[in-house]
Homo-oligomer: A and B are copies of this chain.
Amino acid sequence: MKFSKCPLMVIGTVAIDSIETPYGKQGEVFGGSASYFSYAASFFSPVELVAVVGKDFPEDYRNILSERPIGLGHLSVHPKGETFRWQGQYKSDLNVAHTIDTKLNVLLDFKPKINPDVKPEILFLANIDPALQTEVLNQVHRSHCELVACDTMNFWITNKKKELIDVLKRVDLLVINDGEARELTGEYNLIKAARAIQANGPNAVVIKKGEHGVLLFFENQMFVLPAYPLEEVFDPTGAGDSFAGGMMGYLAHIKQFNFDVLRRAVAYGTIVASFTVERFGLDRLREISKEDIEERLKIFKSLTHVDA
Residues of chain A whose beta carbon lies under 8 Å from any beta carbon of chain B? 22, 92-93, 188-192, 209, 212-213, 215, 222-226, 229-233, 260, 263-264, 267-268, 297, 300-301, 303-308
Once A213-B212, A303-B222 are accepted as A-B contacts, the answer to whether A229 and B191 lie under 8 Å apart by CB is yes
In the bound complex, CA of A229 to CA of B189 (Å):
10
In the bound complex, CA of A260 to CA of B209 (Å):
27
Residues of B with C-beta under 8 A to A190: 229
In the bound complex, CA of A267 to CA of B305 (Å):
10
Residues of B with C-beta under 8 A to A263: 306-308
- Looking at the complex, which one of B93, B189, B303 makes contact with A223 (CB distance below 8 Å)? B303
Using A191-B229, A224-B304, A300-B306 as known contacts, list a sample of 17 further A-B pairs with CB atoms less than 8 Å apart, ordered by residue number in A. Answer: A93-B188, A189-B230, A189-B232, A189-B233, A191-B230, A212-B213, A213-B213, A215-B229, A222-B229, A223-B304, A224-B229, A224-B303, A225-B306, A263-B308, A264-B308, A268-B308, A304-B304
**Centre residue among A212, A301, A308 by max chain B CB count within 10 A:** A308
In the bound complex, CA of A190 to CA of B300 (Å):
17
When C-beta atoms are compared, the residue in chain B nearest to A297 turns out to be B308
User: Does A212 lie within 8 Å of B209, measured CB to CB?
Assistant: yes
Residues of B with C-beta under 8 A to A189: 230-233
Once A188-B92, A209-B212 are accepted as A-B contacts, the answer to whether A307 and B260 lie under 8 Å apart by CB is yes
- 23 A-B pairs with CB atoms under 8 Å apart are A22-B188, A189-B230, A190-B229, A191-B229, A192-B231, A212-B212, A213-B213, A213-B226, A222-B229, A222-B303, A223-B303, A224-B304, A225-B304, A225-B306, A226-B226, A263-B306, A263-B308, A264-B306, A264-B307, A300-B306, A301-B306, A301-B308, A304-B306
Residues of B with C-beta under 8 A to A307: 260, 263-264
User: Does A267 lie within 8 Å of B213, measured CB to CB?
Assistant: no
Residues of B with C-beta under 8 A to A212: 209, 212-213, 226
Residues of B with C-beta under 8 A to A213: 212-213, 226
When C-beta atoms are compared, the residue in chain B nearest to A223 turns out to be B303
